[in-house]
Amino acid sequence: MARSKTSDRWLKEHFDDVWVKKSREDGYRSRASYKLIELDNKDRLFRPGQTVVDLGAAPGGWSQVAIERVGDNGVVVASDILEMSPIAGVAFVQGDFTEQSVLDELLDLLGDRRADVVISDMAPNMSGMAAVDIPNAMGLVELALDMAQQVLKPGGVFVAKVFQGEGFDALLAEMRKSFGTVVSRKPDSSRARSREIYQVCKGFKG
């Protein structure tokens, strides 16, 4: 099947992308790793020894950064509906974390620990139709926020990818109710034309 001009343009942009090249050189699984590195450098998300939950983790770019930052005494528990190749030090659960059996498995891995940080780079499969994509994306962020509210310790951190559009103001209000500070970030490694931003929520009120 012939590729469309759009997919040809995406492939060229992808392979010419400085962050894609850099991720190959640095051994990261995706260009998304640099978004989390930049957010951590700016907002001090991680400390050695912390417990981190990574939602929508595959292919593993964020989990790689998280385990590097929390170190050997830290814990990273990751989940995705897609398969993810193993990463040393990262416990992975495949499945939909909104299903009770998958959630139970995640909670079992956490044990008695509460999470210090919950991160989510989840996004739905994009159709290109904002009227469909934005509500779907917002639904995923709401699920991730709900999970964070369940597992975070007081003072904890939540970071999530959000697509600006309908429902954003209500989501922001909910975040501000649950966290001491909420800021929006657009990392340099995020594609300029993308509507994605990252909400960094700190000081979970518990």
Q: Which residues are annotated as a binding site for S-adenosyl-L-methionine?
A: 60, 62, 80, 96, 121
- CB-based contact 133:124 (threshold 8 Å): yes
Q: 3-class DSSP state for residue 40?
A: helix
In the annotation, is 153 catalytic? no
Q: 3-class DSSP state for residue 144?
A: helix
Sign, CA dihedral 154-79-77-42, equals negative
Give residue for tokens 């509500």.
135
Beta bridge partners, 78, equal: 54, 92
Eight-state DSSP code of residue 52: E
Distance CA 98, CA 101 (A): 9
Q: What's phi and psi for 56, nearest 5 deg?
A: 70, 45
Through-space distance between the first and last CA atoms of the chain, rounded to whole angstroms: 52
The residue from 161, 177, 186, 205 that is catalytic is: 161
Catalytic residue positions, numbered: 161
